Chains A and B, each alone.
Chain A
Amino acid sequence: MDFATPKGLVHAVRGVSFSLGREKLGVVGESGSGKSVTGRAILKLVRPPGRVSAKRLSFDGIDLLACDERAMREIRGRRISMVMQDPKFSLNPVMTVGAQIAEAYRLHEQASAAEAKRRALEMLEAVRIRDPERVYRAYPHEVSGGMGQRIMIAMMLIPDPDLLIADEPTSALDVTVQLQVLAILDDLVTQRGMGLIFISHDLNLVASFCDRVLIMYGGRVLEVCDAKRLSEAQHPYTRGLLDCLPRIEVGKEPGGKAGGPADLPVLHRDPAWLDQGV
């Protein structure tokens, strides 16, 4: 798999290039850094007035730039799938959870309703929902946020895609639930050989979860590094982001007289970063 260079008219993303194999790629940046738009551009989900231009945007030998809407519909879901940030807005509120998952399956496979239901229940179990029969019949408002997110993942995974783009799939969840959801994705990458683009603002999480990390700022990729070596990152922006995180392990001595904490290092932005890029 190989992707390259989406470019926005408002320059939301400028000259981004990267390639992805069967691995977990983390895309990290602050709000407005263009990380979500990059994910959408791959699926050609950027609507006018947004415009995507690139030298090359190819997936498994298919030139995505040349694909029309019809061809893209064949790819979306079946080959490349995307999990959005908030299950509350991504699930259909007037359809039961089960019907939505089964629909996702039947859109892509020639399957009977009974077969689709069986697969949907299997999928709910695979994302560790304890009582799949009950959840199958439930409406989205009847499930918790963590469960909603697992349902979204089940729905995106049921057509068995080769690549999953996860846009902040867990940032609305509690830490323990978040890690459990990530473990599900991790196992799928290992077992099915799926590729994963994991978009997040959480540096620590990405460093411990992904294989490689892209650091985005102002629509550009400032640095690409091994997730395991993120703590040795070179770029001042990456360093600044890492430094300004409060940490549990580091015992900062109280600085103020009333026991106030010592100041965290503050990120100083350099306008020159906007002209850089890997």
Chain B
Amino acid sequence: MIDVEDLSVTFGHGAATVHAVRGISFHVAAGESFGLVGESGSGKSTVLRALSGLNPDWSGRMTVAGQTLGRRRNKVFYKQVQMVFQDPYGSLHPRHTIDRILAEPIAIHNLGEADRRIGRALEEVGLGPQFRYRYPHQLSGGQRQRVAVARALILEPKILLLDEPTSALDVSVQAEVLNLLGRLKTERDLTYILVSHNLAVVAHMCGRLAVMNHGVIVEEMTVAQLRAREPAHPYTRQLLTASLGYDRAAIDRFEDFAATA
């Protein structure tokens, strides 16, 4: 479904060039959930942004559903691929009602039947019709993220790119949003790429994951291998140890992988 080959992304020019992503390749099959894990600055979000066309300065080869991607994306691409962003406070227009936010993609793609589609989309993400004419500031963080999911799904895409969809939410709300994403995936046979710094969230949602550090994929593995604590790369092992909680003795053995990458 998604093929990425030798993808590189740089920012800036000359001596100030930053190589955010350095020649990574991965493949995601249709109907799969693929996790991209890494710490801040590892380039995991940049991969998503390059894939979704938000970041035009990339090199390599990307194929989505058999179509090779160019610099610019057309409407057909966005009908297939949609993205949910990390910050539900920043990704919704503060002066548009939920109704208008959801109507915009329908208008752009000339889908028609806006009224019916918006009503259904809200229902699907578990928000009642009473939310339809509210503004984002009248909603909680979890409700906003549901609106963001509804906006992504209103075009009935096949692929959803999720950039830290729950990291701004409380754990109880996180569980609700993860359940929603899991249910929608099954119902609509979606393909997910989930970017997160939280190994537990990725282990819960995905079947396979890639671990990124400093713009390269250090390891690709199945979640079963992660659960069995069998990562091969020392960076992944350290990340896993750190994710399991505070352990004074283990911390002294932490290495700084930024220096060696």
Contact = CB atoms under 8 A, between A and B. Distances in A.
B127 interface: no
A248 B200 contact: yes
Interface SS majority for chain B = helix
A176 B37 CA distance: 14
Interface stretch (B5-13, B50-58, B111-119, B247-255): B247-255
A19 interface: no
Interface string B150-171: 0000000000000000000011
A265 B175 contact: yes
B248 A183 contact: yes
Interface in B220-261: 224, 226-227, 238-240, 242-248, 251-252, 254
A186 B248 CA distance: 8
A260 interface: yes
B1 to A, nearest CB: 12
Nearest to B184: A260
B185 A256 contact: yes
B146 interface: no
A207 B247 CA distance: 11
A70 interface: no
Interface stretch (B16-24, B71-79, B202-210): B202-210
Contacts of A261: 178, 182, 204-205
A125 interface: no
Interface in A236-257: 240-241, 244-252, 254-257
A227 to B, nearest CB: 10
A179 B175 contact: no
Given A244-B171, A263-B183, A266-B175, A176 B239 contact: yes
A170 B42 CA distance: 19
A177 B238 CA distance: 11
Contacts of B204: 246-247, 252, 261, 264
B52 to A, nearest CB: 22
Interface SS majority for chain A = loop
B186 A260 contact: yes
B218 interface: no
A90 interface: no
Contacts of B179: 263-264, 266
B170 A30 contact: yes
Interface stretch (A1-9, A57-65, A131-139, A198-206): A198-206
Given A208-B245, A264-B179, A267-B172, A257 B197 contact: no
A15 interface: no
Interface residues of B, number: 45
Nearest to A29: B170
A174 B38 CA distance: 9
A182 B203 CA distance: 25
B39 A179 contact: no
A266 B39 CA distance: 28
Given A245-B200, A263-B179, A174 B186 contact: no
Contacts of A267: 172, 175
A115 B200 CA distance: 47
Interface string B60-97: 00000000000000000000000000000000000000
A201 B199 contact: no
Contacts of A178: 242
Contacts of B186: 255-258, 260
B254 A180 contact: yes
A257 B186 CA distance: 6
A241 B246 contact: no
Question: Which one of B33, B178, B182, B189 has the highest number of Cβ atoms from chain A below 10 Å of its Cβ?
Answer: B182
Contacts of A251: 224, 227
Given A248-B227, A264-B179, 10 more contacts: A176-B39, A179-B242, A203-B171, A246-B178, A256-B186, A259-B32, A259-B33, A261-B205, A263-B182, A265-B175
Interface of A: 30-31, 145, 174-180, 182-183, 186, 201, 203-205, 207-209, 240-241, 244-252, 254-267
Interface of B: 31-33, 39-40, 141, 170-172, 174-176, 178-179, 182-183, 185-186, 189-190, 197-201, 203-205, 207, 224, 226-227, 238-240, 242-248, 251-252, 254
